[in-house]
Amino acid sequence: MTPAKEAYVALVTCFNDDETINYAATRRQVQRQIAAGNNLLCCGTNGDFSALTFEEKVQLTGEVVAEAGGKVKVIVNAGMPATFETLKLAKAFDALGVDGIAVITPFFIACTQDGLIRHFSTIADGVEAPVYLYDIPARTQNHIEPATARALAAHGNIKGIKDSGGAKETLEAYLQVGHDVPGFDVYSGPDHLVHWALANGARGCISGLGNVMPDVLAAIITAYNRGDEAAASAAQEKYTALRTDLYKLGYPPAMVKRALWVMDHSVGASRQPAMVKRALWVMDHSVGASRQPALLPNDAQDQAIAAILKQHGLLA
């Protein structure tokens, strides 16, 4: 029996004004995704993983796993430049009972394909949880060639790949590996290719935009699983339209985080008209800004984001 398609949301990490992690607010983001029926990827690109310390990643993942409570699956990105630290992180995550460990390609260190095979195989050898390759060459400058993915798919504990490269021909090549190797699942990263990827054999998607539109992402998956191509296509069009408008403004993960910030503050203002109550609501709920030197708050940009959110029915 062919397994049902599934969606993961690359969960944002929430911060306080002093840039410490806001665990309460992050748990509330987990609750939003549970309500929609989406699984979770913790400490990914949209989760500011490169700005988090080792200890913070472990604590954050523990909080997410606890909040998820088995209602949805949780995988976590352990990827770091060196195999040594990646394995150390992966083992710490494994002890938390995660459903899988994603490993982004090493960054800063230029790798040969043989080096990537050794890197990923070492991690997969060292943990019980299934390992998923994570290819995003625009950010890491290291790319998992389809032939390398095929070689790694033969490892008993490497169960799939997330493709965030954005090149359809590469995704097609990974999908061929998934077709040829039983138990090797392919997940699409680009938000505009969710429906296309499902129709062409992907197991599912791992999406950053799902932070902003969790219900629409879930609708694509649900419609596809029940065989309603028209509804899946309509939901994809809605999803792609927001992606097109929002990502025109800047770096996608920063725009996702900022869109949530604008939504947080709008909801906080509407639910809590008293200034003190509003401040307390925002402190407990808001995703906050990203750690520096990432995007700084900008009134003009926030207004542009608010206009887009209103256009797409996400803001009153």
Instruction: Give the C-alpha separation, 146 to 174, whole Å.
Output: 6
pLDDT digits (tens, 9 = 90+) for 56-109: 999 999 999 999 999 999 999 999 999 999 999 999 999 999 999 999 999 999
pTM of the full predicted structure?
Answer: 0.93
Instruction: Write down the number of H helices and E strands in the chain.
Output: 13, 8
Choose which CATH entry (3.40.47.10, 3.20.20.140, 3.20.20.70, 3.30.160.100) describes domain 6-231: 3.20.20.70
Nearest to 96 by CA among 120, 72, 122, 64: 64
The length of the chain, given as a count of residues: 316
**pLDDT tens per residue, range 116-146:** 999 999 999 999 999 999 999 988 999 999 9
- Is 181 in a helix, a strand, or coil? coil
How confident is the prediction along the chain (316 residues), in pLDDT tens digits per residue?
Answer: 778 999 999 999 999 999 999 999 999 999 999 999 999 999 999 999 999 999 999 999 999 999 999 999 999 999 999 999 999 999 999 999 999 999 999 999 999 999 999 999 999 999 999 999 999 998 899 999 999 999 999 999 999 999 998 788 899 999 999 999 999 999 999 999 999 999 999 999 999 999 999 999 999 999 999 999 999 999 999 999 999 999 999 999 999 999 999 998 886 444 444 444 444 444 456 899 988 888 777 899 999 999 999 999 999 8
Which residue numbers are catalytic? 134, 162
Q: According to the model, what pLDDT value does residue 167 have?
A: 82
Q: In whole angstroms, how far apart are CA 292 and each of 38, 203, 295, 297, 302?
A: 29, 35, 7, 11, 18
The phi and psi torsions of 297 (rounded to 5 degrees) equal: -55, 140
Token readout for 173 is 């090549």
Left if phi > 0, otherwise alpha if psi is -120 to 50, otherwise beta: which for 97? left
Q: How far apart are CA 299 and CA 129, in angstroms?
A: 44
Does 206 belong to an annotated binding site?
yes
Q: Which residues, other chains included, contact 132 with Cβ-Cβ below 8 Å and sequence gap of 6+?
A: 75, 100, 101, 102, 103, 158, 159, 160, 161, 162, 185, 187
Q: Among residues 3, 52, 240, which one has the least CA distance to residue 11? A: 52
**Residue of 161, 139, 136 whose CA lies nearest to 148:** 161
**Residue 13 near residue 45, CB atoms below 8 Å:** no
Crossing angle of helices 23-36 and 275-285, in 10° steps, is 70
What's the rounded Cα separation, in Å, for the pair 174 and 185? 9
Question: What residues does each domain of the chain span?
Answer: 6-231
